[in-house]
Structure 1
Amino acid sequence: MSTIIIGAGPAGLAIAGQLAFHNIAFTVLEASDYIGFSWRNHYDRLHLHTVKEYSALPHFPYPANFPTYISRLQFVDYLERYAEQFSIKPLFNQSVTKIHKASDGTWTVNTQTDTFSADRVIIATGYNRVPFRPELPGQRNFRGIIWHSHEYRNGAPFRDENVLVVGMGNTGAELALDLLDYGAKSFISIRRPINIIRRDTFGRPAQRTAILLSKFPAWFCDLVSGLTQKITVGDVSPYGLGKPEHPPTYDSRRGKIPVIDVGTLDQIKAGNITALPAITQVNAKTVNFSDGRELPFDAILLATGYRPEIASFIGDELADNVLNERGFPKKLWFDTPSLKGLYFLGFSVPAKGVLYHLAIDSEKIVEHIAENNSVST
């Protein structure tokens, strides 16, 4: 029996480490030249929002001298160490173009250059594989820069300029703060109310609280998170951030991850970052907003997220069976005979932390493989 893992980011490495730990053979296919390619190219100031003790990959803790919240470059270093620890040696420049089940029951994986066959395929390409670039109304008229957040490194090029960040998820919130730190005039456009939680509350990291609350019924989690938000964040509607209908934990269970604030909120309250409503029109040098304002901008940054885009290489028929309406896998695996041997890892964004769940979900997958398939060592 053979296993192919698609992707050498955190999810691909997590399941590779689990398989190596259990002496199960595997091959990792990676589209780029490097392990952890996306993390090497994120914006400079990025740190994990989750604490290191709950963010390690399986069977390999972080070095003791790493801080509580690990930087982007430290995380890349950790991924390299992880691959070395478990002798994970991906085949690089293997961009997968098609996956399908062959008549003999095995899975065929086509890349741009090669064809592979395996009894099992674990898709671990991540939920942020492809930047999502919505077309803003009139954006082709704009004479300034329009970048997606994946192109942004730091605010140095925008000093003394008016910059509009579109979207206030965790990335948008941090980019607005980074621009301010580099001397830009920072604005952020928000279409709907934002659920915000402090990264640390009463001296306790939000992730530790989320893990503790997960042991209780949903109604209790919502009660505690709502009260905590009310005390630590307060009513943010006067600052243009709207008023969420539900507590953060309620939204998290429905795939709406709250903003984990690392300082942006205080700068908005202080008037140093301006929150604006939805965009109605982009002009040559200005942008119109739904409240009637028209303001000048030199650059627009799209913090509009990513899409997994799994359907692009598994095909429509398979996608219809395994993906939900948002393009995310419905389960870690499927027990129907036609889908036997196909697994998905790293496509959930739970309140307790993506990396925390990689360790849990990868263990579930390995256990399922051991229980339902003979394995090669």
Structure 2
Amino acid sequence: MADSTASAAPQGPAHPADRPVYVIGAGPGGLAVAHALRARGLRAVVLERADHVGSSWRRHYDRLRLHTTRRLSALPGLPMPRRFGRWVARDDVVRYLEKYAEHHQLEIVTGVEVFRVERARDGDGWLLHASGGRELTGAAVVVATGHNHTPRLPDWPGRDTYTGELRHAAEYRSPAPYAGRDVLVVGVGNTGAEIAVDLVEVVAAVDAFEDGKAVLADGSRIAPDAVIAATGYRRGLEGLVGHLGVLDGTGRPVAHGGRCPAGAPGLYFTGFTNPISGMLRELAIDAGRIAGAVAKRQAGRVSRLPG
């Protein structure tokens, strides 16, 4: 993995044919796109706000395993090792992403957060406003910040008066801190079901909090010691690209994969769907489509790799 910090230094105007593709986010989607672009001889620079690749995977709960098999979860150009087993554990996913970046010699700059994307001042390409006063101009931009960007905690009536422990599932790691305590898990998606796997009682959904108790949809009340809200995430794209008219009413990109939103040529999105076939498999497909689209539509403006 090439940590090209210099690539994210404040820039002067770049020649339109000497601009990289900037990929925002060094999760599996961003890494896969960067490799696919590199395989076509196009320079891709991955910008990651954390200090490591795969930062969201590092924050997942300890017992997490992929819900798709190892063979269906590998990214293009590098199989997952057989020793990971059929259902790959969280820490092995992180190891795989680190190896993927190293194996493909991806150009990744960590510690850089992109706050806003807008059209380049010369009208050709995109201008990224990033931490440290950086202004980066790219021929194209791929937003790969992920589906699970910002934890969503419902604004339940009375939530502020609840005196027990209330946290989002994003903060949950293991059951150890909850030994001997009554815990209410809200949400029955994959995350909620896995966190609650040892619970023996299923109750109605939470409607509100009142007098230190959780009020359920069926009118009953319970007083758990802790509440873990597995209530999903927001994509968190409004500040980044919301002003460009590329999001729908729910904050989801109106175009995905190899298609660009109308009026935003060279702006691509990956990782904002939740397909039944598995997220990693979809990211691998998106990567090829995006790289193919860039090679067809923006290649004349993208800086090329030497050799």
Does structure 1 residue 91 correspond to structure 2 residue 109?
yes
Does structure 1 residue 26 correspond to structure 2 residue 48?
no
Map of 1:71-150 to 2, 5 A cutoff? 71-104=89-122, 105-113=124-132, 114-150=134-170
Map of 1:197-212 to 2, 5 A cutoff? none
The structural deviation recorded for 1:278 is: 2.5
Partner of 1:331: 255
Cα shift readout 1:130-163 (whole Å, capped 9, x = no counterpart): 1111112211121111010111101111111111
RMSD: 1.4
Partner of 1:152: 172
Partner of 1:353: 278
Partner of 1:286: 213
Does structure 1 residue 364 correspond to structure 2 residue 281?
no
* Conserved 8 A contact 2:206-2:215: yes
**Secondary structure at the residue paired with 2:283?**
helix
Query: Counterpart amino acid of 1:36?
Result: G
Structure 1's 161 and 335: CA in aligned 2 closer, same or farther, altered over 3 A?
Answer: closer
Cα shift readout 1:35-79 (whole Å, capped 9, x = no counterpart): 000101110000000011111111111112221110000000000
* CA distance in structure 1 between the aligned counterparts of 2:194 and 2:280, rounded to whole angstroms: 20
**Secondary structure at the residue paired with 1:28?**
strand
* CA distance in structure 1 between the aligned counterparts of 2:63 and 2:261, rounded to whole angstroms: 42
The structural deviation recorded for 1:89 is: 3.5
* CA distance in structure 2 between the aligned counterparts of 1:55 and 1:311, rounded to whole angstroms: 29
Query: Counterpart amino acid of 2:225?
Result: D
* Conserved 8 A contact 1:98-1:315: no
The structural deviation recorded for 1:286 is: 2.1
Cα shift readout 1:20-42 (whole Å, capped 9, x = no counterpart): 22221111110111100010111
Query: Counterpart amino acid of 1:349?
Result: N
Query: Counterpart amino acid of 1:286?
Result: K
* Larger helix share, 1 or 2: 1
Map of 1:167-178 to 2, 5 A cutoff? 167-177=187-197
* CA distance in structure 2 between the aligned counterparts of 1:56 and 1:347, rounded to whole angstroms: 18
* CA distance in structure 1 between the aligned counterparts of 2:135 and 2:296, rounded to whole angstroms: 28
Does structure 1 residue 55 correspond to structure 2 residue 69?
no
Partner of 1:302: 229
* Conserved 8 A contact 1:165-1:175: yes
The structural deviation recorded for 1:14 is: 0.8
**Secondary structure at the residue paired with 2:112?**
coil
* CA distance in structure 1 between the aligned counterparts of 2:112 and 2:174, rounded to whole angstroms: 30
The structural deviation recorded for 1:284 is: 4.3
* CA distance in structure 1 between the aligned counterparts of 2:27 and 2:261, rounded to whole angstroms: 26
The structural deviation recorded for 1:17 is: 1.4
Does structure 1 residue 276 correspond to structure 2 residue 203?
yes
**Secondary structure at the residue paired with 2:109?**
coil
**Secondary structure at the residue paired with 2:208?**
strand
- Percent identical pairs in the alignment equals 38
Give the TM-score normalised by structure 1.
0.72
**Secondary structure at the residue paired with 1:122?**
strand
* CA distance in structure 2 between the aligned counterparts of 1:364 and 1:52, rounded to whole angstroms: 22
* CA distance in structure 1 between the aligned counterparts of 2:158 and 2:204, rounded to whole angstroms: 17
* CA distance in structure 2 between the aligned counterparts of 1:361 and 1:89, rounded to whole angstroms: 19
* Conserved 8 A contact 2:44-2:107: no
* CA distance in structure 2 between the aligned counterparts of 1:55 and 1:4, rounded to whole angstroms: 24
* CA distance in structure 1 between the aligned counterparts of 2:215 and 2:83, rounded to whole angstroms: 48
Greater Cα shift, 88-97 or 73-82? 88-97
Partner of 2:265: 340
* Conserved 8 A contact 2:22-2:140: yes
In structure 2, the gaps of 5 or more residues are 1-16
The structural deviation recorded for 1:106 is: 2.0
Does structure 1 residue 165 correspond to structure 2 residue 185?
yes
* CA distance in structure 2 between the aligned counterparts of 1:167 and 1:54, rounded to whole angstroms: 27
Partner of 1:67: 85
**Secondary structure at the residue paired with 2:136?**
strand
Cα shift readout 1:320-349 (whole Å, capped 9, x = no counterpart): 3x212221112123274x411111111111
Greater Cα shift, 339-348 or 73-82? 339-348
Q: Tell me how many residue pairs correspond in the alignment.
A: 280
